[in-house]
Chain A
Amino acid sequence: AEPDPLITETQGFAQSLGDGVDATPYGLPIEYESDVIRRNVEWLTADTISSINFTPIHALDGTITPQGCAFERHHSGAIDMSKDEYRLMVNGLVGTPLVFTYSDLERFPRENHVYFCECAANTGMEWAGAQLNGAQFTHGMIHNMEYSGVPLRTLLEEAGLPDDLDGKWVYVEGHDASSNGRSIPIEKALDDVLVAFKANGEALRKEHGYPVRLVVPGWEGNMWVKWLRRIEITDGPVESREETSKYTDTLADGTSRKWTWVMDAKSVVTSPSPQAPISHGPGPMVITGLAWSGHGAITRVDVSKDGGKTWETARLAKPGEKMALTRFYLDTVWDGSEMLLQSRAMDETGYVQPTKTQLREVRGENSIYHNNCIQTWHVKENGEAENVEVS
């Protein structure tokens, strides 16, 4: 074999000098990673101001999503608001309605938690058939971050909870022009909802609700109100646009489910996948992907190479955590023949991720939201992969 000139010849970077510190005071990924970016699907929505894009999950590893490539969803655009301009009101059926500034929030005892945020419409374009060719597009309406913030319970107690909590709800809304508002039952509001101002250690990005957003673990992303403006205890749900005309799931007979908040257990192989083909030929390889459940921790992920005839249990990178992404690996040897790759998640409640056929039998094809079906990638002999459906 010929000697490798990358080894035998002195390279420029081994001879001359690189950048000094502060070359980029806030760092960006190196240019060779410029394809690891959010992407949108233009035909989905009328305008990017009221739209969504997708996390490049096919190119990431581990479980934490960097903020800079975590999917965005806006209803009236990402607004420009400083911490000084920020106000949060707690009102309604409370002892004393209160107003907090940003610096007020930083004085309450704080917690840190890692949670996934998944848009209810993730995989929604796949109800009627395999449509988008890439894990980024089929499953990229998700991110997973470590949040720092104040429990919503703390703020509600500061304002004074009503004596009788039965039948009470909490309405939350944002500062932006859409003032996206959702009703949350008081039990959830007092359980694990977080009023967050940091993600992955740094301030929230503008596109994720800077300076303050709501974190509603395990529940659909639309409820994670950004630019959180107001929290109201009410004696019933508001039935806002986002919880009636949107984020309701129409069944085959035309009736629609409402209040479908929890994101059921789901998984996807992120590599290999259409945007991450096998480039090395037969031999040892790593099949990897993500699993998550809004009901709690992931306990097991199985992988099939033959479209669901036989399954083998994958290795979890670490034990599943409640309402957070879990990374799985199947360290295997590829014989070079084609594969129909699938993954199947199980959570701590014993729920097993269903097939698309099973979901359609219950829900039909018009639900739009909450499609947590098993995904199939057809990996060909040349290593390329395609989004398919199988019998």
Chain B
Amino acid sequence: EAEPAPSSPPVAAQTSEAPAEGLLVAAAQADEGGSGAKFGIGREALPEEIDAWDVNIMPNGEGLPEGSGSVADGEGLFSENCAVCHGEFAEGIGNWPELAGGEGTLADKDPVKTVGSYWPYLSTAWDYVHRSMPFGNAQSLSDDEVYAIVAYILYSNFIVDDEFVLSNENFLEVEMPNADGFIVDDRAETEYPMWRAEPCMENCKDEVKITMKATVLDVTPEEEGTVAEALTEAKAELEEAGSDSEGSETVEASAEETADTEAPAEDISAPDPELVAAGEKVFRKCSACHKVGEGAKNGSGPQLNGIVGREVGGVDGFNYSGTLADHGGVWDEALLAEFLADPRGTMSGTKMAFAGLRKEEDRAAVIAYLKSVGE
């Protein structure tokens, strides 16, 4: 049902009135169909280059590398790499996607679409985890780790048992519950004939009544470019995490805190702009979970305004791990640098899934950046 559209004009037609002979030849070739025009532009892609980029996995498993991973290994990997957004049991945190559950809900008012309840092909899950996850640290997982994480997601959906090991060999044996739940676009048969008719112009209805108003829900952001503060129950239902609603209070509280802790001498020295700029780039690794700057709110991680000199675990309304909540003291530069080098080694039990910044210059830069903003 592809749309009838004019075929593209031959190459030479858009060039000058007297096209170069080569173009005419090319256009003639294009007109004959088949192999078409060649300009001799570009170079041949090398096998290593194709291997590096051509990583898609087809529904029949084509493209899968050799390897395997168990549910048990996947559980630990999932906890470290995925749970910060998707929850320990793949149930999803806040607005981040749920990966498990939802079976039998697709015809309900608000269907829960997860890998188990919705995704028709397992290849999609492997491909996506492998190329795009974890969020903010894509393409960092080994093939075996991807097999293990996908095995754990299957286990979270009760599709396999806890002894299961997923590999390239048994990949196609896994049955996806909603594999038969899709039909190809049928609008051309089910809709277009009905709606390709001469429309009514007069006396089209006996009466018209307003049946619903947007202002009843009131979920529209306010005009000033800032976000509506007073989002109603609709929002409360949508956001289970809850931390967001305390956001604005939290920012005020931390601003006071920062004022109280008067900057020590070293903070008064002018920041090195190059270091700050470098730190801003490094901070992109953090920004999926942490916000900083005016109006920064808690996300998956706490907002970081005034973090240097701030109490450890000190943002009200953020649900810290026990380790951070009970730590006491303040984040000075040394403690931050230590934590950033090895988050889980420094603060055992932290929920921060980030693996850490290995380079000392990256740690120094990101600390300089954090000092320069949101103070």
What is A's interface to B at a CB cutoff of 8 Å?
A: 35, 37, 39-47, 49-50, 75-77, 89-92, 95-101, 104, 107-111, 129-134, 137, 151, 153-154, 157-158, 160-161, 163, 171, 173, 177-179, 181, 185, 187-188, 191-192, 218, 229-230, 232, 234, 236-241, 244-245, 248, 250, 252-262, 264, 274-275, 295-296, 302, 306-312, 322, 340, 344, 346, 349-354, 358, 362, 365-366, 378, 386-391
Contact yes or no, B107 A253, CB < 8 A: yes
- B interface residues with partner A (beta carbon < 8 Å): 2-3, 5, 7-8, 11, 14-15, 23, 30, 34-39, 41-45, 49-50, 53-54, 56-59, 85, 94-96, 106-107, 109-111, 113, 115, 118-121, 123-124, 127-128, 131-132, 135-136, 138-139, 181-187, 190-192, 194-197, 199-205, 207-215, 217-221, 223, 225, 227-228, 231, 234-235, 238-239, 284, 287-288, 299-300
Find chain B residues with CB under 8 A from A311 CB: 199-202, 204
Complex alpha-carbon distance, A261 and B8, angstroms: 21
Distance to closest chain B CB from A116 (angstroms)? 15
Known: A42-B227, A109-B11, A130-B217. 20 other contacts (CB 8 A): A39-B225, A43-B219, A89-B49, A95-B35, A107-B41, A109-B15, A111-B8, A133-B220, A137-B221, A161-B35, A163-B34, A239-B120, A240-B56, A254-B111, A256-B118, A257-B184, A309-B202, A310-B201, A354-B195, A390-B208
A-B contact pairs, 23 of them (CB 8 A): A39-B225, A40-B221, A42-B227, A76-B135, A76-B136, A107-B39, A109-B15, A130-B212, A131-B234, A188-B2, A191-B2, A236-B58, A244-B124, A254-B111, A255-B106, A257-B187, A260-B185, A260-B187, A296-B5, A306-B208, A310-B203, A350-B197, A388-B212
Q: Is the CB of B109 within 8 A of A365?
A: yes
Q: Are B106 and A254 in contact (CB under 8 A)?
A: yes
Task: Give the complex CA separation of A174 and B167 in angstroms.
Answer: 28
Tell me whether chain B's interface is mostly helix, strand or loop, or mixed. loop
Q: Chain B contacts of A257 at CB under 8 A?
A: 182-187
* Chain A residues with CB below 8 A from B109, complex form: 365-366
Known: A239-B59, A344-B199. A96 touches B44 (CB 8 A): yes
Given A255-B182, A311-B199, A351-B192, A238 and B208 contact (CB-CB distance below 8 Å): no
Please report the C-alpha to C-alpha distance between residue A362 and residue B194 in the assembled complex, in whole angstroms.
Answer: 11
- In the assembled complex, the Cα of A135 lies from the Cα of B209 at a distance in Å of 21
Asked if A39 and B192 sit within 8 Å, CB to CB, the answer is no
The answer on a CB contact under 8 Å between B54 and A91 is yes
A186 (CB) vs chain B CBs: closest residue? B2
| CB contact under 8 A between A259 and B184, given known A244-B121, A389-B212 | yes
Question: How many inter-chain residue pairs (CB < 8 Å) link A and B?
Answer: 305
Neighbour of A109 across the interface among B5, B14, B187, CB < 8 A: B14
Complex contact A245–B113 (CB within 8 A): yes
A250 to chain B, nearest CB (A): 6
Q: Shortest 4 CB-CB distances between A and B: which pairs?
A: A157-B36, A254-B107, A307-B208, A254-B106
| Cβ B128 vs Cβ A240 within 8 A | yes
Determine the main DSSP class of A at the interface with B. loop
**Once the chains bind, are B181 and A391 in contact (CB under 8 Å)?**
no
Most buried by B among A47, A49, A234, A256: A47
Q: How far is the CB of A25 from chain B (nearest CB, A)?
A: 22
Chain B: minimal CB distance from A54 (Å): 9
A209 to chain B, nearest CB (A): 17
